[in-house]
Structure 1
Amino acid sequence: MSQVTIYHNPKCSTSRKALEMIRGTGIEPEVVLYKETGWTAEKIKALADRAGVPVSTFLRAKEPLAHDLGLTAPDIAEAALLKAMVEHPVLVERPIVASDKGVVLGRPVERVKEILPT
C-alpha cells in the first residue's frame, strides 16, 4: 500500500477534516505535527516542487505574522519565504498531504482525494 503523509495541525478544522477523510478510506497516514517538529527549507521546497507550485502557495497569507514580516509582497524572494516558514511554522498553510501520487495543499479538503491511492 502507498504511504500517505499529512503535515497536520490538529487545531485546524480543515486539517482535521483531511485526516478524517484519509482515515475514512482505510489508510492510516503518517501524521507529521509540523508545528512541533518544525520544517526545513529543503522539505518545504521539495513538497512545493512535487506539487508543481511555487513555495508562496504554501504560505499562510492570512496569518497576521505574514503581513507583519512583509511576506505577502508580490516580489518577495523565495529564500525569504522559506527562511520565515522555517523560523515560524505557523506560516505554513495546512494541511499538506503527500503520497506516491503527488502532493497537494488540502484546501479545499476535497483536493486530498486526488492523490490518495485507489
Structure 2
Amino acid sequence: MSDITVFHNPRCGTSRNVLALIRHAGLEPRVVEYLKTPPTRDEIRALAAATGQPLRALLREKEAAFTELGLADPALGDDALLDAIAQHPVLLNRPLVVTPLGTALCRPSEAVLALLPVGPLPPFTKEDGELIHDNGHRRSLVR
C-alpha cells in the first residue's frame, strides 16, 4: 500500500476512474468509502485546508440535500457546512485524493495525475472510452 488515500464513492464514475488511474500507475491507495466511513468534522476541515480551497468548494451541489438544507446561502459559515456534511456525507464531493504531492478534489479524473509520485504513465482509457494521455507534469513535493 502506498501513502495515497482516496475518499471514494464506488457508485461515482469519476471516483472509479481516479482509483483506476492510481492503480494504472502501479500504486495501491488506501480507499476510504466515505459514505460507509465518513470523515470527522476535523478531518473534513483539514482536507479542505490541504486543498487550499474553501470548505464550500468541497460541497456536492447536485445532491438533493444541498438544496433542501439551503446550502447555497453564502451567509452559512464553515460550522454550518460541516454540520451538514456530518449529517449527510453524500454532500462531500469526490474523489478527494491525498498524496505526498498534495491534496485535491480530482474532477475531472485526470486531475489526479498531477498528484501521483510516478510518471509519466502510458495512455489510460476511462470507463466512457475517453483516452487520457499523461503529460508527466507533477506538483512539487509538499513539505
Q: Report the TM range for the smaller structure's normalisation.
A: over 0.9
Alpha-carbon contact 2:2-2:30 (below 8 Å) kept = no
RMSD (Å) for aligned C-alpha atoms: 1.2
Residue 66 (structure 2) aligns with: 66
Greater alpha carbon shift after TM alignment, 1-10 vs 49-58: 1-10
In 2: Cα distance, 1:58 partner to 1:88 partner: 13
Q: What's the TM-score once normalised by structure 1's chain length?
A: 0.96
In 2: Cα distance, 1:75 partner to 1:111 partner: 30
Is 1:10 the equivalent of 2:19? no
Residue 50 (structure 2) aligns with: 50
How many correspondences in the alignment?
118
In 2: Cα distance, 1:61 partner to 1:101 partner: 27
Structure with bigger RCO (C-alpha 8 Å, 6+ apart): 1
In 2: Cα distance, 1:41 partner to 1:6 partner: 17
Residue 37 (structure 1) aligns with: 37
Matches within 5 A, 1:82-97: 82-97=82-97
Q: What's the TM-score once normalised by structure 2's chain length?
A: 0.79
Deviation at 1:26, TM superposition (A): 0.2
Alpha-carbon contact 1:47-1:103 (below 8 Å) kept = yes
Deviation at 1:95, TM superposition (A): 0.4
Tell me, which stretches of 5 or more residues in structure 1 are unaligned?
Answer: none
Q: Which has the higher helix share?
A: 1
**Aligned to 1:37, what secondary structure does the other structure show?**
coil
Deviation at 1:96, TM superposition (A): 0.3
Alpha-carbon contact 2:2-2:28 (below 8 Å) kept = no
Runs of 4+ in 1 over 3 A off after TM superposition: none
Larger Rg: 2
Alpha-carbon contact 1:18-1:95 (below 8 Å) kept = yes
Alpha-carbon contact 1:2-1:100 (below 8 Å) kept = no
Deviation at 1:116, TM superposition (A): 0.9
Tell me, which stretches of 5 or more residues in structure 2 are unaligned?
Answer: 119-143
